[in-house]
Chain A
């Protein structure tokens, strides 16, 4: 019979195994997930998952080591501490390696909803199946989906350290997505849509299906545009792809290592006055919300670009010590299997006042981009140069017109930020990143 240690017991075991002046931190996490994938009116896959584990960060003499273990016994927990100690001994010394002290985070009401925990599996399956059916009944050109599904996770995190950190929280997350296949005259286009929330009541799956169908069908008949410089409107999904690259450049870690295009620009204008970029770990509407970051520091709202002016970077405890400032509560990690780096919580471009349709009027003859691809490989996070693939629609008479495919869009992130001339009111989140529709001045669009 295996004895299952509670997360707080796991953390206590880790912290109790510290010796001498070592600083030791435990990050323990457990989650239960359900995932439904529908296809052809049937459940293609139904997955139940339970996982848990603990990560140990140990700092001794300014050297940091890390070790992690999935679902450990008490014995394995102690062994992990020993491994972290061995690893620390081989690492380079850095006076800024330190754990944060204790804090009293404000609880974040609404992050956890019992309604998701008690939702029967059958309802989840039905939601996945219904989403597929909805997407295939809205337009005769969409009879199939590439993928449709529902997923959720109930998770718990506990963090404790020899410095006195002791934090714990629970959260619920759920999402649904569909990728519609639009077909006409032997041509196929895809349109995707995604919704997320804290319980299934947050998911407007009918709107999700409608959006996927619209995004797929409106690309039918697309052709390559002529190459040239034209105004560009980015829809929220496309804009978010670029924000992901900006997030890396706004991390103090990148800045301190000279790997950010913003390195020397604090306080300087880096965008047009329309650009107001914020990170807010307490914004419940964003999926990246949590009361504390991944080393137990309370989260907060940080204005990164304020009306075009670079106002702050994202910090964890280590970068804050190095930069002689305070952590912004942006320590982040990919679960217990990795040590904390710097990552945004909910990073978003603050919405403007005009409806998205009005932006089109200012971009006559330009291109509305609904999807970009290859941003991670096509953008240089240091120089900010990028050239990415895109699909979208020609803007004609203030409206969306002819569909366009196999376009490339090339510019640099600094030029693009400076060229933002209007930001619409339709802020949407995709994962932890959000943006409204954005009008950018002229960019080079490549085609034939």
Chain B
């Protein structure tokens, strides 16, 4: 059930918008947020900490052309909101007042609701989930030495009122359980990690039983104990399902965010309609996928969630826009204006970024590779969007020898550049999986999902020590 109580009275919201545009400006917006959160950390065989938080705040943005003034505080009373409006309008002082359009409520087209509110589940049940995870991880192999399990849930209530008359509210329930495992044998120490997450309630544990999450993390750590040093050099690289989504997000997705495109710091600038990727590659950004970690009903500027085609059969079809950047290009926002919280300005961000499945079977993709590297799981990565260069850690990797996945490989990473690897993809399988995480940009972290089938990159630099 969507709560109908507004965080700020609509009449007050309208007054704030009027005050924000009192000195001119093309657009103003009030973003109000309240967030309750719980975190539980299980470490070293016991619950180390439970912590609960209550955050609350509001930000007023005044836009003039491409210039934005922003002011926020933790207070939601009239005096504080009007003060924020006045501060935010400071940079738009050269015009007469602009009149905001009367506010009207917009209903969402997609909802991502909790079937069973996590807030209603007693805390000792959540503590038990973590105990189950701990036991399951330790049962995988005697080499498992340490298990750290973390649980978090939160409800973020958002209200956005804008001078174009837009008034939206959304309640975003989030839930995540992560397990990190350390395995050791003969002086070798390796780690494994798994941490699925949803915009949902306690039904999360039906889809992702805590024991299953823990086993996956433990198996990864144990598998890597037998790893040999990673090879270094160029070779064919097969990336397991989901991993290609992480690569796509980092190496290509950021370069499609319109702020970077417009700053001329993207290699994708001015290339719409060009074939930049292998014809096997179709990719989307989709905030409408039911209950996925990067999903929402409205973005943080009150724009409805959308599915945006980025590549269709290798051809670049779209960029990711927020309000300001869409205005500059004279197109509609793609609903990608996101922010970490009221303390941040919205900027173009990805939501759930997927490479769509193809037709080959994943087994055939590996069998067709006589010698290469199989990256089953990727860790985090970093990319320079201006050059497209990236580097990724491989958390679980194997050699491919004579068309078979053979020995585990430790300490490898993948290095390359975004357009280069998109063009070099020469096989796309028909499986699919996702990885979720927090994407950081300009100091703001937002929840994102990444997904892909098994992919092969014909040639790619593997960095290793051997």
A and B interact physically:
yes
Q: List residues of A (156-188) whose CB comes within 8 Å of B's CBs.
A: 181, 188
Max chain A Cβ within 10 angstroms of own Cβ: one of B45, B75, B91, B463: B463
Counting residue pairs across A and B whose Cβ atoms lie within 8 Å, the total is: 237
Q: Are A69 and B53 in contact (CB under 8 A)?
A: yes
Q: Which residue of B lies closest to A388 (CB)?
A: B391
Q: Are A408 and B413 in contact (CB under 8 A)?
A: yes
Q: Which residue of A lies closest to B234 (CB)?
A: A448
Q: Which residue of B lies closest to A405 (CB)?
A: B389
Q: List residues of A (342-381) whose CB comes within 8 Å of B's CBs.
A: 373-374, 376-378, 380
Docked pose: A386 CA to B463 CA in angstroms = 10
Q: List residues of B (373-389) whose CB comes within 8 Å of A's CBs.
A: 379-382, 384, 386-387, 389
Max chain A Cβ within 10 angstroms of own Cβ: one of B43, B54, B57: B54
Q: Are A389 and B380 in contact (CB under 8 A)?
A: no
Q: Are A387 and B230 in contact (CB under 8 A)?
A: yes
**Which one of B62-70, B270-278, B294-302, B449-457 is at the interface?**
B62-70
A residues near B263, Cβ cutoff 8 Å: 39, 144, 146-147
Q: Are A385 and B463 in contact (CB under 8 A)?
A: no
A residues near B95, Cβ cutoff 8 Å: none
Q: Are B387 and A188 in contact (CB under 8 A)?
A: yes
Docked pose: A161 CA to B72 CA in angstroms = 30
A68 at the interface (CB under 8 A from B): yes
Q: Are A47 and B70 in contact (CB under 8 A)?
A: yes
B residues near A385, Cβ cutoff 8 Å: 410-411
A residues near B382, Cβ cutoff 8 Å: 373-374, 377, 389
The one of B66, B343, B410 that contacts A51, using a Cβ cutoff of 8 Å? B343
Contact A387 B464, CB 8 Å, known A2-B77, A339-B51: yes
Q: List residues of A (220-239) whose CB comes within 8 Å of B's CBs.
A: 224, 227
The one of A1, A43, A146 that contacts B265, using a Cβ cutoff of 8 Å? A146
1/0 per position for A329-342, CB-CB distance to B under 8 A? 00000000111000
B438 at the interface (CB under 8 A from A): no
**Which one of B101-109, B165-173, B187-195, B398-406 is at the interface?**
B187-195
Q: List residues of A (73-106) whose CB comes within 8 Å of B's CBs.
A: 76, 80, 83-84, 86-88, 90-94
Q: Are A51 and B47 in contact (CB under 8 A)?
A: no
Docked pose: A325 CA to B190 CA in angstroms = 30
**Which one of A59-67, A292-300, A308-316 is at the interface?**
A59-67
Q: Are A49 and B51 in contact (CB under 8 A)?
A: no
Docked pose: A259 CA to B190 CA in angstroms = 11
A87 to chain B, nearest CB (A): 4
Q: Are A446 and B392 in contact (CB under 8 A)?
A: no
A241 to chain B, nearest CB (A): 11
Q: Are A50 and B69 in contact (CB under 8 A)?
A: no
Q: Are B72 and A446 in contact (CB under 8 A)?
A: no
A13 to chain B, nearest CB (A): 15
Q: Are B46 and A410 in contact (CB under 8 A)?
A: no
A258 at the interface (CB under 8 A from B): yes
Q: Are A374 and B393 in contact (CB under 8 A)?
A: yes
Is chain B's interface secondary structure helix, strand, loop, or mixed overall? strand
B340 at the interface (CB under 8 A from A): no
A residues near B465, Cβ cutoff 8 Å: 387, 410-411, 444
B residues near A86, Cβ cutoff 8 Å: 123
Docked pose: A296 CA to B56 CA in angstroms = 27
Max chain B Cβ within 10 angstroms of own Cβ: one of A66, A67, A84, A383: A383
1/0 per position for B150-184, CB-CB distance to A under 8 A? 00000000000000000000000000000000100
Q: List residues of A (131-156) whose CB comes within 8 Å of B's CBs.
A: 144, 146-147
Q: Are B50 and A90 in contact (CB under 8 A)?
A: yes
A residues near B75, Cβ cutoff 8 Å: 2, 71
B430 at the interface (CB under 8 A from A): no
The one of B91, B189, B379, B391 that contacts A389, using a Cβ cutoff of 8 Å? B391
1/0 per position for A383-398, CB-CB distance to B under 8 A? 1011111010000000
Number of interface residues of B (CB under 8 A): 78
Q: Are B55 and A70 in contact (CB under 8 A)?
A: yes
Category for how many chain A residues contact B: 35 or more
Q: Are B463 and A446 in contact (CB under 8 A)?
A: yes
A residues near B413, Cβ cutoff 8 Å: 374, 378, 387-389, 408
A257 at the interface (CB under 8 A from B): yes
Q: Which residue of A lies closest to B463 (CB)?
A: A408
Q: Are B145 and A258 in contact (CB under 8 A)?
A: yes
Contact A92 B47, CB 8 Å, known A47-B71, A144-B264, A387-B411: yes
B437 to chain A, nearest CB (A): 11
B48 at the interface (CB under 8 A from A): yes
Q: Are B191 and A406 in contact (CB under 8 A)?
A: no
Q: Are A406 and B389 in contact (CB under 8 A)?
A: yes
1/0 per position for B235-261, CB-CB distance to A under 8 A? 000000000000000000000000000
Docked pose: A448 CA to B463 CA in angstroms = 10
A residues near B381, Cβ cutoff 8 Å: 374, 377
Q: List residues of B (333-363) whose CB comes within 8 Å of A's CBs.
A: 343, 345
B276 to chain A, nearest CB (A): 15
Contact A446 B461, CB 8 Å, known A51-B343, A385-B411: yes
Q: Are B389 and A67 in contact (CB under 8 A)?
A: no
B370 to chain A, nearest CB (A): 21
Q: Are A373 and B53 in contact (CB under 8 A)?
A: no
A44 at the interface (CB under 8 A from B): yes
B73 at the interface (CB under 8 A from A): yes
Contact A410 B67, CB 8 Å, known A190-B384, A376-B380: no
Q: Are B384 and A91 in contact (CB under 8 A)?
A: no
A45 at the interface (CB under 8 A from B): yes
B244 to chain A, nearest CB (A): 16
Docked pose: A447 CA to B188 CA in angstroms = 27
A121 at the interface (CB under 8 A from B): yes
Docked pose: A140 CA to B403 CA in angstroms = 51
B200 to chain A, nearest CB (A): 23
B93 to chain A, nearest CB (A): 11
A42 at the interface (CB under 8 A from B): yes
A343 to chain B, nearest CB (A): 16
Docked pose: A66 CA to B37 CA in angstroms = 12
| 17 contacting pairs across A/B (C-beta < 8 A) | A39-B263, A42-B66, A44-B67, A45-B67, A47-B72, A51-B343, A65-B51, A69-B53, A70-B57, A71-B73, A227-B233, A257-B43, A258-B145, A380-B191, A383-B189, A444-B232, A447-B461
4 nearest A-B residue pairs (beta carbon): A408-B463, A389-B391, A92-B46, A71-B74
Extra 16 A-B pairs, beta carbons < 8 Å, given A45-B345, A83-B52: A2-B77, A46-B68, A46-B69, A46-B90, A48-B72, A49-B72, A71-B57, A80-B54, A92-B47, A144-B263, A147-B263, A374-B391, A380-B191, A408-B232, A408-B391, A446-B415
Q: Which residues does A use to contact B, with CB under 8 Å?
A: 1-2, 39, 42-53, 64-72, 76, 80, 83-84, 86-88, 90-94, 121, 144, 146-147, 181, 188-190, 224, 227, 257-259, 337-339, 373-374, 376-378, 380, 382-383, 385-389, 391, 405-411, 444, 446-448
